[in-house]
Amino acid sequence: MEKPLNNRAWFLVMPVALIVAFNAILPLMTVVNYSVQDTFGNNQFFWNGTGWFKDLLDPNAELGGRFLAALGRNVSFSLIILSIEVPLGILVSLCMPKKGPGVAACLVIMALPLLVPWNVVGTIWQIFARTDIGLLGWTVSHLGINYNYTNEFFSAWFTIILMDVWHWTSLIALLCYAGLKSSPDAFYQAARIDGASRWSVFRAIELPKLNRVLLIGVLLRFMDSFMIYTEPFVVTGGGPGNSTTGVSIDLVKIALGQFDLGKAAAMSIVYNLIILSTCWVFYTVMTNVDAPDRPRDAKDGAL
């Protein structure tokens, strides 16, 4: 059934549009304004045109080198955690009981890391991974492995990746669990009668069910890991050196630490554009995947 056209619906949307516009449009205008100006302090600004943007995108400039390196680190971080969390999340969701008293306990334990304040996630792992007082750090270093996340590159990366897997795999697992629960039992019974192997049940019945939820999961995880700030900031502070400094940490350093408004603003805009274009691709794919099951949307196309 087609949704009726009714422009008065704008009145219902107005409060949301206003409150988000207050938070989004005014600050973005400030950012754009700063990005084309330079200052010697004392609130005296002068026109700098596209100077900051040229610096930012030039790998040989100081600012550009720094930005592109942080961007590279951030992309690798996102790809690594996605390639661990997605398969692991699917695996865990397949192992979860479908009914019985265990379900509620599983759900509550799995959701717990998601509700931990992000700086406390950092604190937990800071404590857990220290070689002197933490269970993980103490165990690993007593196995004779050189492990110290504050001054050794691999340890630092290992720690923040393990922390993210701990923090967010449950999100993927819960999403997949919700998807799996919606497939009717009759499918599984039919597969059992046909003598299908575990793998073909997964390929033919379960994976198609997971398509949509996995898209949401990958979208949320990609976006959130790409703008991760608090957790690595608390654990490694971006170090050792700059080795775990992502774009967000670098941006906050430039904006609130050094108060380099022009540089920070130019960087914000480029950073935001990267995220928005990725988001748009995901969103388009997602609405297209949604379409066959939700016919009322089918005629409207992607956007």
Partner 1 sequence: MSRRVILTAYLVFLMLPIYWLINMSFKDNTEITNTMSLFPLHPTLKNYGEIFTNVTWYRGFQFSLTYVVLNTLISLAVALPAAYAFSRYRFLGDKHLFFWLLTNRMAPPAVFALPFFNLYSAVGLFDTSWAVALAHCIFNVPLAVWILEGFMSGVPREIDETAYLDGYSFPRFFVRIFIPLIANGIGVAAFFCFMFSWVELLFSRTLTNNQSISSIMTRTVSAAGIDWGLLAAAGVLTLIPGALVIWFVRDYIAKGFALGRV
Q: Which of residues 70-99 bind partner 1 (CB under 8 A)?
A: 88, 91-92, 94-96
Region of residue 34 (phi > 0: left; psi between -120 and 50: alpha; otherwise: beta): alpha
Q: Is 268 in the site for partner 1 (CB under 8 A)?
A: yes
Q: Which is nearer to partner 1, 6 or 60 (CB)?
A: 6
User: Closest distance between partner 1 and the C-beta of residue 193, in Å?
Assistant: 22
The rounded distance, in Å, linking the Cα atoms of 220 and 37 is: 34
Q: Which is nearer to partner 1, 2 or 60 (CB)?
A: 2
Which residue, among 280, 253, 251, has the nearest Cα to 268 in the 3D structure?
A: 251
Under rule CB under 8 A, which residues in 21-50 are in contact with partner 1? 22-24, 26-28, 30-31
User: Closest distance between partner 1 and the C-beta of residue 169, in Å?
Assistant: 8
User: Closest distance between partner 1 and the C-beta of residue 21, in Å?
Assistant: 9
Q: What is the DSSP string of 50-73?
A: THHHHHHH-TTSHHHHHHHHHHHH
With a CB cutoff of 8 Å and minimum separation 6, the contacts of 21 are: none
Q: Are 81 and 168 in contact (CB under 8 A)?
A: yes
**Which part of the chain contacts partner 1 (CB under 8 A), choosing from 49-57, 143-151, 188-196, 246-254?**
246-254
Q: Are 161 and 79 in contact (CB under 8 A)?
A: no
Q: Are 246 and 236 in contact (CB under 8 A)?
A: no
User: Closest distance between partner 1 and the C-beta of residue 61, in Å?
Assistant: 21
Q: Is 272 in the site for partner 1 (CB under 8 A)?
A: yes
- The binder of partner 1 chosen from 179, 232, 238, 262 (CB under 8 A): 179
Under rule CB under 8 A, which residues in 212-241 are in contact with partner 1? 212-213, 216, 223, 226-227, 229-230, 234
- Amino acid at position 66, single letter: R
Bridge pairing between strands 45-47 and 37-39: antiparallel
User: Closest distance between partner 1 and the C-beta of residue 109, in Å?
Assistant: 5
Its sign, for the CA torsion 102, 207, 297, 220, is positive
User: Closest distance between partner 1 and the C-beta of residue 270, in Å?
Assistant: 10
Q: Is 171 in the site for partner 1 (CB under 8 A)?
A: yes
- The binder of partner 1 chosen from 190, 276, 281, 285 (CB under 8 A): 276
Q: Which residue is listed with tokens 């206003």?
A: 18
Q: Are 86 and 214 in contact (CB under 8 A)?
A: yes
Q: Are 96 and 177 in contact (CB under 8 A)?
A: yes
Under rule CB under 8 A, which residues in 108-167 are in contact with partner 1? 108-120, 123-125, 127-128, 132-136, 138, 166
**Which part of the chain contacts partner 1 (CB under 8 A), choosing from 63-71, 188-196, 199-207, 209-217?**
209-217
**Which part of the chain contacts partner 1 (CB under 8 A), choosing from 54-62, 63-71, 151-159, 243-251?**
243-251
